[in-house]
Structure 1
Amino acid sequence: MEDLVLVQEQLEKGMREYGVHRYLKAIERRKQHGEEADTSYGKTLIKRSLLICEEALKEEMERDSSAVGRHNKALKYLRQGELRPLIFIAMRFLFNGISAGRQLQTLCRQIGQAIMDEVNGQAYREQFKETGKKLQAQAAKRVGYTYRRELFRTFQNNTEDFKTDRWDTDSQVVVGAKMISIIIEKTGLFYIQNTRERHKSCKYLLPTKSCLDAIENHVEMMSEICVSYQPMVVPPNKWEEGSAKGGGYISPWIKPLHMVKTRNEAYLSDLAHMELKEIRAALNAAQETPWKINLGVLEIMEKAYELNNGMAELPLRIDEDPIPRPSETATEEEVDEYRQDRRNQFQRIRANKGRRIQFVGTLTCAQRYREFENIYFPYQLDFRGRLYSVTNGSLSPQGADFSKGLLHFAEAKPLGERGLYWLKVHMANLMGVDKVSFDERVAYVDENWGEFIRCGQDPLANLLWTEADKPWQALAVCFELVGVDREGVNFASRIPVALDGSCSGLQNLGACLRCEDTGREVNLLPADKPADIYQKVADRVIASIASVSPTKCDKKAAIEAAKELMKLIGADHGITTPKRMTNAIERAISDCPRDKLSEASKEMRSIYHRVVEGWAWLKFGITRKTTKRAVMTFPYGSKKFGFKEQLMEDILIPTYRELSTKLQQGEITQQEYEEQWPFTGRGHLAANVLADEIYSAVTATVVKAAEAMDWMQQTARLVTKSGRTISWTTPLGFPVQQRYFEMKERRIRTTLCGETYWPRLAEATDKPDTRASANAISPNVVHSLDASHLMMVVGLSAQEGINSFALIHDSFGTHAADTDKLFGVIRRAFVELYRENYLVRLKEQLTAQVAPKYREDVPELPEEGCLDLEAIHKSAYAFA
């Protein structure tokens, strides 16, 4: 053990050194590209300086400006634009070369020219609001200041009604010089040095000693926290009673971890003195579980990555070749098509690069720890009490499928008959066969036994495992099935068999309110096979769309059907003549801004999109996968806008890009493309329509859960209206503090430097943010409840002799041999958690935080249903 302790100390030293190296390398890369404004110290220094310089410039502008001279000439130009973005642009130019001296004359002109472009851009956006928004969106997609500037100048020059104000070179230099002088005077971060070069006098802008000291101190501070957390080879330090720091890593090379990820020292001090026995026990049980690298999976993963074919959802090792440029004789249409294809390719490459960075980091970590018999993962809590491995982002039992596939328990336990049964259930779940009974899942594995054995014996030649929902975990099971085939039920298994909650957010809310309808849909009640709330919602959506949209016809017929409904709406609004009706319909389906439409035209437009995009969805296909993410995130506060973003991200954007690529590469014809992509444009309208339909279907399916969420939001608004932030205590006594404050400043929008978002650009006020607090309370309460359930499960499992855990919020895993015990423990803990309606206690706590004058406005809790909690003990599929 002593040798391993020394090894662990050296590993922790390496974690620290690697983190510092990575941070310094990122800074160096920014320096080389002239982007120091985007380093952490650049952002910090700009943040400190921006408001000071803005106030100073405002004061000068408010003085008597009747005097002549270069000074007032600069102020005249600066008055033409919104001041803060102009100062921000000047600062970015200065800070982008803060480590290297630059000639003052050149810098003045660069800043003046950029401010001129920004002033013109602001004027253009003000005069042409809709076009300006679209232009801003296009500019944001372009990489580099020069490309964005050319885009804006082209639009401005080609707009007849807009006159671009071009400043002469002298004016640009004067404006730039004024900005630099303000920044020098008010920040003390720069100074001007006179030098002689080739018998000429030159002026350079250089950072002051205080500026360099600030950078050095910042880098030193960041180096303390830029640790690359990795697994451990000895059991982590326990989380002890009387302390909220120091669990996990063992050496002074790493700053002590906090039990809860927070910087609030007062909160941590309070935690240290609280009796949180169950919570600390759960943390310790999770991090004391010994793991081991699955060498079989690691070997195949290395080979598959080398093949560079995206096998089993791995990222590409080498990016695809650039699309060939069109010939000089290409038509304008062909050039536009090339540009669109190139943009699509760039997005694919960028997405693949992000995935590759994560994957390579995980793979490298697994290779580093492959020789150790036992490895461990330190855990800590978030502010809601959820358990997280601190190595998330690298190798972790809570990571992506490939990360989980690389790990199995260090201890091996003989399966036995029941263990083999659960291992087969687990395999079926991984393969996506999880909406049938347990016996049918086992039968599926038995039917495909030979194929799974062949996968385990030669994975690169037998690829059924790659078709799994979670292929790398499925491969790990295939390897074990080979052992079972050889040794029978005496085979010693290391695979964590997971039992997952059935839409746990709704399970928690349904149990709170004893809602029988919600309980039935999320498997809290016994049934012969699992209920599928995602399919239930999908069926409701299909029925709703089919009630207004025609099926089994082409798009023209759908448009005509929409126009017939538009005529009915027009008639209701008193539009009677054919000419007026035609004009109203044409206006409704035109690009006319919504705020310019009459109420009749707005209603007509809505029904048009609902019918036409609804027809497109019916043609495209609506399945349980279409609605799954929306239903899952609903109890965590996601609503129509969130649903729309999810549909775009999960379905529409990937499909559009895939089909566009196939069309460009000649794999499909234009007719086939239109057949497979029936939506308008890139799918935004379709996403809006389906988001509305899904929201209506979800709220109609889980009425009580929706009522509970609404109650929490109303009450949260009263707390923040009382000037207080929101806090509550979980059933296990963990104190949750939901601290969202209004900010004085959140965004700086510039035409050419893009949009910068810094939540801490200005200091937070002491006024609670009502909107953020109301939106967050439902997901945060639900998360704090599923965290309590997990901790109770761990505590009860320990009493049953279970000592290995794979825990991910609403997913509970242990050895297959112990899964029968865990199966019962999960349900026992859930029933115990909700034996009393937790919302009653929550109401008492929240009401106490509401000012007395508002307490009469606290709404009553939704009425409880008649769900029999004891029935959960008999529900096979509540956690399956």
Structure 2
Amino acid sequence: MQKMGITSALHTKPMEALMWQWYTAMVPLFKEEFKNINKAYEDEAAEADERLITGPFLEAFTPEKLAATSLIVTVSTFGAPDMAGGMKVSQIAMAIGKQLAMEHSLMVTQTIQANHSLYRSISERRLRTLIKYSKTIDPSREKPPQDGGDGEDIDKKYEGLKHLEWAPMIKAKVGALCLSKILEAAKIPVTREERETRKQLTANEPAFYHATVYSAGRKSGMIRLHQIVLDKLRREPLRGSFGTKYPMVVEPLPWTGYKEGGYLRYPEPVIKEKSNDDSQKIYAMAAIEKGDMDQVLAGLSVLGKTAWKINRDVFKVVIEAWNTGEPIGKLAPENPKMEYPPEPSPEAPKKEYALWLKEKKRIDNAKGGYHSQRCFQNFQLEVARAFRDEAFYFPHNMDFRGRAYPIPPLLNHLGADLSRGLLTFAKGKPLGSVGLTWLKIHLANVFGYDKASLTDREAFAMEHINDIYDSCQNPLTGRKWWLKAEDPWQCLATCFELKNAFDSPDPSSYISHLPVHQDGTCNGLQHYAALGGDKAGAAQVNLEPGDRPSDIYSAVADIVKKEVASDAKAGGAFAKILDGRITRKVVKQTVMTNVYGVTFIGARAQVIKQLEAVLSEEEQKAGLLGMGAYVAKLIFKALGQMFNGAQEIQDWLGVCANRITTSLTPEQIDMIEKQSTTGTASEMPRDPRYRKNRGKKKAVSGKDIHSQFRTTVIWTTPLRMPVVQPYRKSLSREITTVLQYLSIVQPKATDATDKRKQLQAFPPNFIHSLDATHMLLSALKCDELGLSFASVHDSFWTHAADIPLMNRILRDAFVRMHSEDIIGRLHEEFCIRYKDCMYLASVSPKSPLAKLIQNHRAENSLPNSNKKINQTLLDELVIERTRHRLLQSEDPEERAKGAAMITPSVLYETAKQEEVELGGEPLDLQTGDEAPIARLGDISVEQAAKGKAKSTAISEDAVEAEAVDANEDDEELLKGIMDDGSSHAAAAAPLADEGAMDPEALQRPNKNKGTRELKVRFWLPLDFPPVPKKGDFDVTRLKESTYFFS
């Protein structure tokens, strides 16, 4: 603790002194725990004691290390946004467990490298426990055996520990035990006045509370902080309480392997690990070993070697503003001025009282949000203070799609305006002949005047020259012009840079450190327009040259405005209220996320949030929900008109994903065929909630057919990085801890795929992977030409003097990428990757083909009733496999026998050929019962969304990020750290406490709905439709576009 700046000295800040007291109280508790572990292991008959499981993992650490680490992790997590109301026990326990697991892995590696073992002196019984409850880091390796052996075998086991890591169950159990020690030891003195005697009495109260709450039918264990501790945490910086993932003061190691790169001491995987499903890891390791990902790793290394420093001018103003406690420049206020409405009288109607409760809850939530935000900003400022005299670096890794993120979570350039305003390049460059011009343009961009021409943006800066100087000389006492900017702290940083350049004897020689940004125009639409050769769409997103920048958001807003005005004249109630209120800001978020698969429900929520800011309370009473739906529908309609080519690409991607996720591999089909002939049972995923089925095996039956769909969508980016979508229907496992029962979701490769998420996530994830490829190509070229480079996904940064060169690099990289047939190559990859798979197709029961299939089944005595159709499908699958094997035989008689067989796939091929010969279109195969993908501008999504406000369909946040689970990085508990929420908001609840609901319950059909048409299903060889015809847009024209990035 002393090494971390937390001591017992009386002159230290009160919060740090409290932490020292808690720490000293916890150490004896851990020493006592170690004694109890020894007693449990000395008793040879003991089997049920939990210490027999957790003991060997705890004993790797000293009591002091356990106390310090668990305390630091716990307090740090409460500094994250949205944590003021408390945190789930499961979240804190896993965060502590993961931190200890990382420390343990490092200790094992270092002791083995030093030719001695961390566990040389422990018993064989303890060693077996370590091996049993660990999992392999490298999926290609096997665990060392658990049984005994001679000295040489034991040495191999010690060496084998290097390749093991803690299982999620161990992380949860150890984390919960450590948390229990905090709850037992952490007290805070509280002084209160006794009512009768008026004396001041002081007593110790728990600093942390373990409470049970109910939410949406779930019972969850929560840890809450004492109010005094919350207040201290909000006001006082905590040194040394942020874990290990700081910025680096030396250049990160270049990436050379899956865990070789970045930090020198604490290795991180190059791809964020989100799941126990090792599929992504296996593919990535294989690609790295073959050298396929060399360019990807080199690109990440470029991002990591950019040196940064703290902008001291901005930091000084931030501290001064922070100390006022006022909401200056989007800083969270210390004491938000939010008054509760007067409580209704007891005689007031119930409705009035309900409205009062709702408003009170809204204010409480807002205050809690401000508190959490202030705690988080406090942590950010403390990191900035610690590094203010250093040049530092952000090692990067990436998500499964190839999108790069800085590993240090608290302060980085992917953060909000405050983080970006505090950061500047450590390396400076003279402005040269063009640098001053680009600094002026950058000022206009961060102020919000970014849709004008470059000439007008430059003029904007000169028109506000007095405001620039006033902002620098009197930032908090002058006219405060900088606070009117969209990004106030970045605006202030630019003001300082411009003033310094203006005041220098020769501005062209001024050494500038400020990163200047170049932002793309809705990059997802740029990629769709290029993929589809969509000329009209390309013009809307600045792929076509133009005198002024095109603004897709303004274009959509204009279309929506006209529709609203027209409806208002026709007497539409919503339109009359909204006429003249539709702005670019109202539509922007929905346009931006529509290309990434936002659902209609999500779009409606986005619009409502914007309408709340422009409509009065009286106007909102007319029906905010209806108005949000009305505007969202118009936005979808406008996009559908503007980007027809993008819709065709999305449709094609959706059809491919649908077929893949309803397919069976040749190995699966062979297994089913073997079972049908021998009756041999195979391992099936079992629901652990039903004890009678645990550990049992059973043969695949018709009812289990959907659980056999385990094939995920996999593709390779243009930089040869394999991408494996992680969405599966994973069941939770209930474990016991010293605090409570915990349920942990542990996805495995054997879990059935979540078809809905696979389907809806594929188009946006594919576009994200292209976006990542463009960024990495640009980074590599910038590094080759000596440019400093940083990236925030679709915003690229360099020195002002190098902007023209970087812009040329960005255009060349995009042209180079899209000059290739990306979709054609994807089609070819799918055909090879999924060769010999069979997928479950379906047609309308009213179609002629359906009648042929039903007649065929009747003639062959195959049940065709709804209750028995799944068994028929399994029987037909075996028949189809037999036919395929006969057709592949070298024996002419067997080939003839196969060709003579009549199956549903033969009937389909025959009917399709006859249809084509007659000049018609190929037969229309339907996508099955799952919801279709949310297409760009697809209004039909609205109809599917009616009555499903609580649908679990993947939202824009879930598409933006992969599902969170038992392997989620601990910094991900700090929500809002990544710019995309990255978010990384969960698509499914990862860690649920006792009483978790059935995950299927929310998706069951509504019994009140009309009867659904049951499609006729049958098996077909997995093939893919032809790629959509490309339009006539020439992507090389982009090289002349000034506003592609600007």
Residue 377 of structure 1 corresponds to which residue in structure 2? Answer: 394
Is 2:610 aligned against 1:651?
A: yes
Residue 601 of structure 2 corresponds to which residue in structure 1? Answer: 641
Q: Distance in 1 between matches of 2:752 and 2:524?
A: 30
Is 2:744 aligned against 1:766?
A: no
Query: SS state of the match for residue 628, structure 2?
Result: helix
**TM, length-normalised to structure 2:** 0.54
Residue 604 of structure 1 corresponds to which residue in structure 2? Answer: none
Alpha-carbon distance, 1:449 to partner: 1.4
Aligned runs of 1:489-638 on 2, under 5 Å?
A: 489-550=508-569, 561=571, 611-618=572-579, 621-638=581-598
Q: Distance in 1 between matches of 2:177 and 2:335?
A: 31
Is 2:647 aligned against 1:686?
A: no
Is 2:705 aligned against 1:705?
A: no
Cα deviation, 1:45-102, whole Å, max 9, x if unaligned, reads: xxxxxxxxxxxxxxxxxxxxxxxxxxxxxxxxxxxxxxxxxxxxxxxxxx999969xx
Residue 786 of structure 1 corresponds to which residue in structure 2? Answer: 771
Query: SS state of the match for residue 245, structure 2?
Result: coil
Code of the residue aligned with 2:577 in structure 1: it is: A
Residue 55 of structure 2 corresponds to which residue in structure 1? Answer: none
Q: Distance in 2 between matches of 1:406 and 1:868?
A: 41
Residue 1027 of structure 2 corresponds to which residue in structure 1? Answer: 861
Q: Distance in 1 between matches of 2:430 and 2:546?
A: 31
Alpha-carbon distance, 1:654 to partner: 5.6
Aligned runs of 1:823-834 on 2, under 5 Å?
A: 823-834=807-818
* Alignment CA distance shift 1:503-1:854 (3 Å): farther
Alpha-carbon distance, 1:639 to partner: 3.4
Residue 456 of structure 2 corresponds to which residue in structure 1? Answer: 440
Aligned runs of 1:51-130 on 2, under 5 Å?
A: none
* 2:260 equivalent among 235, 246, 254: 246
Q: Distance in 1 between matches of 2:765 and 2:715?
A: 10
Query: SS state of the match for residue 244, structure 1?
Result: coil
* C-alpha RMSD over aligned residues: 3.8
Residue 426 of structure 2 corresponds to which residue in structure 1? Answer: 410
* Alignment CA distance shift 1:41-1:314 (3 Å): closer
* 1:720 equivalent among 654, 661, 666: 661
Cα deviation, 1:527-551, whole Å, max 9, x if unaligned, reads: 0000111111112222223333338
Q: Given that residues 719 and 849 in structure 1 are in contact (C-alpha distance below 8 angstroms), is that contact kept between their aligned partners in structure 2?
A: no
Higher share in helix = 1
Residue 813 of structure 1 corresponds to which residue in structure 2? Answer: 797
Is 2:359 aligned against 1:345?
A: no
Q: Given that residues 36 and 42 in structure 1 are in contact (C-alpha distance below 8 angstroms), is that contact kept between their aligned partners in structure 2?
A: no
Cα deviation, 1:30-53, whole Å, max 9, x if unaligned, reads: 9x9998577537999xxxxxxxxx
* Alignment CA distance shift 1:17-1:362 (3 Å): farther
Is 2:784 aligned against 1:734?
A: no
* Alignment CA distance shift 1:624-1:324 (3 Å): closer
* 1:475 equivalent among 473, 484, 492: 492
Query: SS state of the match for residue 766, structure 1?
Result: coil
* Alignment CA distance shift 1:41-1:450 (3 Å): closer
* Alignment CA distance shift 1:317-1:273 (3 Å): same
Alpha-carbon distance, 1:355 to partner: 2.0
Alpha-carbon distance, 1:694 to partner: 1.1
Residue 413 of structure 2 corresponds to which residue in structure 1? Answer: 397
Code of the residue aligned with 1:705 in structure 2: it is: A
Alpha-carbon distance, 1:20 to partner: 3.6
Quote the sequence identity (%): 31
Q: How many residues align?
A: 611
Residue 119 of structure 1 corresponds to which residue in structure 2? Answer: none
Q: Given that residues 789 and 796 in structure 2 are in contact (C-alpha distance below 8 angstroms), is that contact kept between their aligned partners in structure 1?
A: yes
Alpha-carbon distance, 1:761 to partner: 7.5
* 1:23 equivalent among 73, 88, 105: 73
Code of the residue aligned with 2:582 in structure 1: it is: I
* Alignment CA distance shift 1:299-1:843 (3 Å): same
Code of the residue aligned with 2:431 in structure 1: it is: L
Residue ranges of structure 1 left out of the alignment (5+ in a row)? 1-5, 45-94, 101-142, 153-224, 552-560, 562-610, 660-672, 748-755
Q: Distance in 2 between matches of 1:316 and 1:365?
A: 20
Code of the residue aligned with 1:643 in structure 2: it is: A
Bigger mean CA deviation after superposition, 395-404 or 765-774 = 765-774
Query: SS state of the match for residue 396, structure 1?
Result: coil
Bigger mean CA deviation after superposition, 402-411 or 225-234 = 225-234
Code of the residue aligned with 1:530 in structure 2: it is: P
Bigger mean CA deviation after superposition, 825-834 or 737-746 = 737-746
Q: Given that residues 783 and 789 in structure 2 are in contact (C-alpha distance below 8 angstroms), is that contact kept between their aligned partners in structure 1?
A: no
Q: Given that residues 414 and 792 in structure 2 are in contact (C-alpha distance below 8 angstroms), is that contact kept between their aligned partners in structure 1?
A: yes
Q: Given that residues 719 and 773 in structure 2 are in contact (C-alpha distance below 8 angstroms), is that contact kept between their aligned partners in structure 1?
A: yes
Alpha-carbon distance, 1:322 to partner: 5.3
Query: SS state of the match for residue 694, structure 1?
Result: helix
Q: Given that residues 437 and 530 in structure 1 are in contact (C-alpha distance below 8 angstroms), is that contact kept between their aligned partners in structure 2?
A: yes
Q: Distance in 1 between matches of 2:65 and 2:486?
A: 33
Is 2:395 aligned against 1:367?
A: no
* 1:314 equivalent among 318, 331, 341: 331
**TM, length-normalised to structure 1:** 0.64
Residue 605 of structure 1 corresponds to which residue in structure 2? Answer: none
* 2:785 equivalent among 792, 800, 820: 800
Q: Distance in 2 between matches of 1:868 and 1:293?
A: 43
Q: Distance in 1 between matches of 2:334 and 2:1031?
A: 54
Cα deviation, 1:667-698, whole Å, max 9, x if unaligned, reads: xxxxxx42xx34524x2222122211111111
Code of the residue aligned with 1:714 in structure 2: it is: V
Q: Given that residues 616 and 679 in structure 1 are in contact (C-alpha distance below 8 angstroms), is that contact kept between their aligned partners in structure 2?
A: no
Alpha-carbon distance, 1:329 to partner: 8.3
Q: Given that residues 730 and 747 in structure 2 are in contact (C-alpha distance below 8 angstroms), is that contact kept between their aligned partners in structure 1?
A: yes
* Alignment CA distance shift 1:616-1:860 (3 Å): farther
Q: Distance in 2 between matches of 1:702 and 1:246?
A: 43
Query: SS state of the match for residue 871, structure 1?
Result: helix
Cα deviation, 1:379-415, whole Å, max 9, x if unaligned, reads: 00111111100123x1101111100110000111111
Code of the residue aligned with 2:579 in structure 1: it is: L
Cα deviation, 1:315-373, whole Å, max 9, x if unaligned, reads: 1123436537549788558755643432221121122123223211211110111121x
Residue 187 of structure 1 corresponds to which residue in structure 2? Answer: none
* 2:1043 equivalent among 874, 877, 880: 877
Aligned runs of 1:1-20 on 2, under 5 Å?
A: 20=70
Q: Distance in 2 between matches of 1:742 and 1:277?
A: 33
Alpha-carbon distance, 1:502 to partner: 0.7
Is 2:858 aligned against 1:844?
A: no
Q: Distance in 1 between matches of 2:1035 and 2:332?
A: 45
Code of the residue aligned with 1:244 in structure 2: it is: Y
Code of the residue aligned with 1:376 in structure 2: it is: Y
Alpha-carbon distance, 1:482 to partner: 1.1
Q: Given that residues 283 and 379 in structure 1 are in contact (C-alpha distance below 8 angstroms), is that contact kept between their aligned partners in structure 2?
A: yes
Query: SS state of the match for residue 637, structure 1?
Result: coil
* Alignment CA distance shift 1:706-1:230 (3 Å): same
Cα deviation, 1:250-304, whole Å, max 9, x if unaligned, reads: 22xx3x1111112635345324303223212211111111100001111101111
Q: Distance in 1 between matches of 2:87 and 2:467?
A: 56
Residue ranges of structure 2 left out of the alignment (5+ in a row)? 6-61, 98-175, 182-209, 219-240, 664-708, 735-740, 839-1018
Alpha-carbon distance, 1:702 to partner: 1.0
Q: Given that residues 793 and 825 in structure 1 are in contact (C-alpha distance below 8 angstroms), is that contact kept between their aligned partners in structure 2?
A: yes
* Alignment CA distance shift 1:34-1:457 (3 Å): closer
Q: Distance in 1 between matches of 2:558 and 2:339?
A: 43
Q: Distance in 2 between matches of 1:874 and 1:42?
A: 50
Q: Distance in 1 between matches of 2:263 and 2:778?
A: 25
